[in-house]
Amino acid sequence: MSAAWAVLRKDLRLELRSAETLPAMVLFAVVTIVIFHFALNRDTIQGQEAAGVFVIALLFASMLGINRLFVAEREQGGFDGFLLAPVDRGAMLLAKASALYLFLVVLEVIAVPAFKLFLLQPGLGRPLPGLIAVLALTNLALSVIGTLVSGIAVHTRARDLIGPMIGLPLLVPALIASARAAGPILQATHAPAAPPLRWVGTLALYDLVFALLAYAVFDFLLEE
């Protein structure tokens, strides 16, 4: 546990000092939202459309973070150091997934208001609590799958390509559930107070299954 915390602290400190990944992710998400305005030729959107647009912007921005997740470890021998230390190897998975999760949270803190500003229809009631719940689960899916896929990709030759190529299809069920859960609460009229339970349940199930699976197989990715 403390090993995971140590690795996580290191990643966060690195990011605070060099500030490469997170600003890029935020910028990417915001620009994507702006591009959607032009692509859809709409001033405001709501409901399922809004949910879809936001989830896609989140997905693309997370791909940037996923690509960078293990690069420093690979290039500067972090893997070797970690393997030599007498710690549980699952700690690396926990640390990296937590780092990605935190990055996504920061991203959303900026991207959700930006979305509200640029594209979301005003006067939508109180979608925020429901949206936070959905995004919390979505971030978990993105983090777990992202860490797994990034761990696979970092040792291949086509590093930047393999990650998104494998990750995007794997994330489809989570994205379906996420967009469908967020859709009704972003509606202009008759928006329910809470996101539909069926989709939240699907998302939670997906998170659980893949978190357990990732924990089971991650060790094999670290072996030399």
Partner 1 sequence: MRSTTYGRGLRSLSLLTVLFIAAALVMVFFYAPLDAEQGFVQKIFYIHVPLAIVSLCGFVFGGLMAIGYLRTGDRAWDMRSYVAIHMALIFGIGGLISGSIWAKASWGHWWVWNEPTLVSFLIVILLFCTYQPLRFSIEDPERQARYASVFAITCGAFVPLNFIAVSQATQFVHPRVLTLTGAHLPPAMGVTFLVSMIGITLLYATLWKYEMAAKNARSQLRRLRRTLLGEDLDRPYGRSAAPL
Give the interface with partner 1 as residue ranges (CB under 8 A): 148, 152, 155-158, 162, 165-166, 169-170, 172-173, 176-177, 180, 198-199, 202, 205-206, 209-210, 213-214, 217, 220-221, 223
Query: In Å, how far from its chain's centre is CA 178?
Result: 12
User: What is the smallest separation between the CB atom of 73 and partner 1, expressed in angstroms?
Assistant: 16
Give the nearest distance from C-beta 22 to partner 1 in angstroms: 27
Residue 191's CB is within 10 A of a number of other CB atoms, namely 17
Query: Which residue's CB is nearer to partner 1, number 119 or number 185?
Result: 185
Contact 134, 182 (CB under 8 A): yes
Q: How many of the other CB atoms lie within 10 Å of CB of 180? A: 21
Three-state DSSP class for 104? helix
C-beta of 44 vs 48, nearer to partner 1: 48
Please state the closest distance from residue 51 (CB atom) to partner 1, in A: 13
**Strands, E assignment, 82-175:** none
Q: Smallest distance from the beta carbon of 190 to partner 1, in angstroms?
A: 17
| Shortest Å, Cβ 102 to partner 1 | 24
| Whole-number Å distance between alpha carbons of 151 and 79 | 11
Residue with smaller CB distance to partner 1, 61 or 148: 148
Q: What are phi and psi of 153, to 5 degrees?
A: -70, -30
Query: 24 vs 176, which CB is nearer to partner 1?
Result: 176
CA 66 to chain centre: 8
- Matching residue, tokens 């960078």: 68
Comparison of 35 and 213: residue with beta carbon closer to partner 1: 213
